[in-house]
Structure 1
């Protein structure tokens, strides 16, 4: 048997260097077409349903083909939050030489946490929609944390465009990069005890689930919403390995690293060996396994395995769509994950209406939300804006894409079409 902690010490001594930080700064403002083919590249009836189920959402607007035909959408649509996991390779010009050089082996062996982000949505996703993306770094800051000492906090902008060239979403991803060994040695969270539940505890959680109500076809009108209104409670968890597997089954898994099997895992291990570290059986396995392997999570300074930040982002979105109903459109969601959500933890969601306004023909409601675990610790918080239908003015409108984003997206999409056409016309070898 292999000692996982020894294997950790042997393979995870990577440090955040001034050189890497300086190289990362050179990538700010460089937009590049994404060449990654994600697990889901095209929304389908099944893919949309499976994503909703992986989030714990049973809304028939997402999970059936027929229900949506009688809604304002005219058919099945996806939860807006699904936009961030759909991706088909976008054609584009190569990354500038200076940026390509700066990006090579950048932050190799450094751990990355998704700590939140902000997403603006502009169009719904229908079955058959294929999403392409381009992205670039927007900002980078160096900070000190109790968890892992010096860390890098960066924001990447990811713009998703559908096959009609329409901007579907702009996702700004907040990531924290830390040294794995420093986090392990400091052991900030090592004293946290695993959760345990009596039958009575589970009954209390079940009571929250039983009381949850999806607004659905009962239209929530702008005029009927009051500032100060409290959103009903929602529960997520307790977190299990099964729930993490369900989230992956719904389509989550970033392809450049991701979950690979057999020969593909071997090929990936040869491509990025620093991402693979032996488990207790001596088998090279992904560093990503800390989301289901508590022994590995302990080796890097956490008491047990924990969820993905993206999971809680989708849970917040589920909370919003349950409240808003089928006619609503989530325009923006901003969220922050400040504490870990460990295996065994349950998250209780709450929220409040903090404002309402008419803007550019849209009737908008602003909300705040948070998640609190069974230890009464707030782990996540967020803000959101939802467009609702108006009794007086009619159905929900879709927001306009900001001029600067629209201009760049048009340029990137036109270049994609040009290169695609050039490749189609090129003589076959």
Structure 2
């Protein structure tokens, strides 16, 4: 038979292996607890959406829509579809479709994979994951600050603080239009310094030029007209109130006038949480206000604000900060000698799971010596041996797999089955009592 060629995964779309699962699970558990504490409820939207949703919601003259979206025509019905490159548009589409803000504002959160066709690098992949929140129906700026505090609390739970918070205001559309004209005039007069990317964006999206990473353009960008200088009283008052609330809450921040979003539906608040632990990919969370978007997508005018964080980047920071999984892979490993002892071991495993233990019952038949090696590799605290003799007598041999056996329990002892079960029940009861105290 000819050798079958192996099929590799798609570049930039990575497997999450069992050895990596603990850090993902820990992140998700912390996120769930924090978000629940602020009254946010989960929403799950499809990975596939109509391509037009992102063209209208993100904009056709953006890198995401022009170069990064995975789009295709459904061969069954001719629909133009896209893998979601972000999820704010999908959440807004769902809110409009199901009329979720009809009776009350909504605090929502989501978690899942997004897709962009870009060059894979550390913390940036073609399939990546985002945790995001959207608050719809709140004028702010108190809810804007609430979300900043929520992100800070999550970072604190994950033990990756300090992160730096950068803040700016985008004002309103009319203020940005005046600023945009000033930007175009300024960059036109310095066209010889612009790179090809900046020239392409000059008339379609000049705000994005301010976000360039090209070192040859930094001096030019630093001297460019600042949007803050074009804000009028209402926008300045919104920003000042945000700063007051952040100061009262003890949140350190800096105003970064170069922090922008190149889309018309953003207004007022824009911010990023950044780190110095990931090189050039410094942003781990970005947020802001997008009051015009719901109306742009066909809904009633509704204020809205949200943030999204790249989970892979957050996990990278956690690793840099020394994250280690504190829990073993399992707590109890049950060994047997086949035959009746295998069924006996499986029954014992079910009883211990009823008592809230994580249990592996050895699969298949092999020598007890070989099984003991597997038990040790599993990280289990205890090995329970159900040999033929123990099974016939209704007993089990308990072996402690960690610490000083004399202090912890015993090196190895054979007990009646009920006595062994009661020992593990008492062990868990003692743990819960200590936890409550």
Q: TM-score, normalised by structure 1?
A: 0.22
Q: Quick check: which one's strand share is greater?
A: 1
Q: Quick check: which one's helix share is greater?
A: 2
Q: TM-score, normalised by structure 2?
A: 0.22
- Greater relative contact order, per chain length (Cα 8 Å cut-off, separation 6+): 1
Query: Which is greater in Rg?
Result: 2
